[in-house]
Amino acid sequence: MKALRSHAIGGPESLTLDELESPIPGPGQVRIKVKACSINYPDVLIIKDMYQFKPARPFAPGGELAGVVDAVGEGVTQWKAGDRVIAMMGNGGLATEVLADAARLFPLPDGVSFETGASLLMTYGTNMHGLLDRGHLKAGDTLLVLGAAGGVGLSAVELGKAYGAKVIAAVSTEEKAAVAREHGADDVVIYPRAPFDKNQSKALAEAFKAACGPEGANVIYDIVGGDYSEPALRSIAWEGRFCVVGFPAGIARLPLNLTLLKSCDVCGVFWGAFTARDPAANAKHIAKLFDLLKEGKINPRVSATFPLERGGEAISLLESRAAIGKVVVTMD
């Protein structure tokens, strides 16, 4: 088997394609022939030791994959060789074969491609938890999504519309604005590149307010952080919910007097911890995702694919914040 692995702290260029022995599944495990592995922002961070989890080296990044079961370990009865599956892992997915906990797999529905399957769980799963459990989104709400053209952002736009919200997409380019509209955004704000001075921050806040309307945004979904967060918070509605999802632009410093003035909540969205703490609730969310996919209400946009030996380029594309939708590494 082959794996694209990190042997030392570094960027995507530091990864090496290694030849390894096929792993043997232990009790409760299955071995998966990986067909596709999507790239997510944790993959950018984990190889630099900047993520919450720091696996022992050498390791392969890649936490979300789709493939076919080809061997099962002792005690595994729910899966058999030939089953098409989706797997969530902390890392290891950028490989032609992986071992996975049988209890953490989901069936890949017939007719759904491996590339699509590998693009579902982390983005849409994060947003089901973030929008519903943390943001308490409901029909008629106004939802402002920062970074709305990336994998997490586009799926948040789609889910916002599926649950009856008015969705404002905030993006950095006209190209990304067009994509957000294609996926259902009702309006778009195009923001400049940070850092912002005081006047630029104020101007962005006014742009957000104008798009969200006089009542403001009931839910702000912040996937970007940095200098973008405070202007967004200034557009929040009375008793709104500001969801902290990620910070590729840096960790924001929010003036907490705004939370008092708007009687609003600031809440974190940590889907990985949620799945471990409440797997039953997560399973219900994933089942609903498959229903929405079947109904055509969500459709992951895979904008770029790379072979395994070029997986570092896939991570670089995400790191540059130039990616639109999902970026996927394929093994065949």
- Residue by residue, pLDDT tens for the chain (332 residues) are 999 999 999 999 999 999 999 999 999 999 999 999 999 989 999 999 988 889 999 999 999 999 999 999 999 999 999 999 999 888 999 999 999 999 889 999 889 999 999 999 999 999 999 999 999 999 999 999 999 998 899 999 999 999 999 999 999 999 999 999 999 999 999 999 999 999 999 999 999 999 999 999 999 999 999 999 999 999 999 999 999 999 888 999 999 999 999 999 999 999 989 998 999 999 999 999 999 999 999 989 998 999 999 999 999 998 987 788 899 999 98
Same domain, 99 and 127: no
Q: Check: CB of residue 15 under 8 Å from CB of residue 308.
A: no
Same domain, 109 and 127: no
Same domain, 268 and 147: yes
Is residue 149, in this structure, part of any structural domain at all? Answer: yes
What's the CA angle centered on 271, arms 109 and 315, to 5 degrees?
75
**Closest to 270 in 3D by CA, of 167, 89, 169, 127:** 127
Burial category of 297 from C-beta neighbours within 10 Å (exposed 0-12, middle 13-18, buried 19 and up): middle
Long-range CB pairs of 106-113 (<8 Å, 24+ gap) are 106/286, 107/83, 108/66, 108/84, 109/290, 109/293, 109/294, 110/84, 112/293, 113/36
The CATH number linked to 233 is 3.90.180.10
Burial category of 215 from C-beta neighbours within 10 Å (exposed 0-12, middle 13-18, buried 19 and up): exposed
Cβ burial 34-50 (10 Å sphere, 16+ → b, else e): bbbbbbbbbbbbbbeee
CA distance 234 to 257: 11
Q: Check: CB of residue 104 under 8 Å from CB of residue 76.
A: no
**Strands of 142-146's sheet, edge to edge?**
187-190, 166-171, 142-146, 217-222, 236-244, 265-268
Q: How many domains does the chain have?
A: 2
3-class SS of residue 92: coil
Q: Check: CB of residue 184 under 8 Å from CB of residue 161.
A: yes
Same domain, 162 and 252: yes
Same domain, 180 and 208: yes
Same domain, 160 and 36: no
Is residue 59, in this structure, part of any structural domain at all? Answer: yes
Same domain, 68 and 143: no
Same domain, 259 and 153: yes
Q: How many CA atoms lie within 13 A of 330 on its CB side?
A: 11
Burial category of 24 from C-beta neighbours within 10 Å (exposed 0-12, middle 13-18, buried 19 and up): exposed
Same domain, 61 and 169: no
Same domain, 116 and 202: no
Is residue 284, in this structure, part of any structural domain at all? Answer: no
Is residue 89, in this structure, part of any structural domain at all? Answer: yes
Look up the pTM and report it: 0.87
Is residue 234, in this structure, part of any structural domain at all? Answer: yes
The boundaries of the domain holding residue 109 are 2-120+300-330
Is residue 277, in this structure, part of any structural domain at all? Answer: no
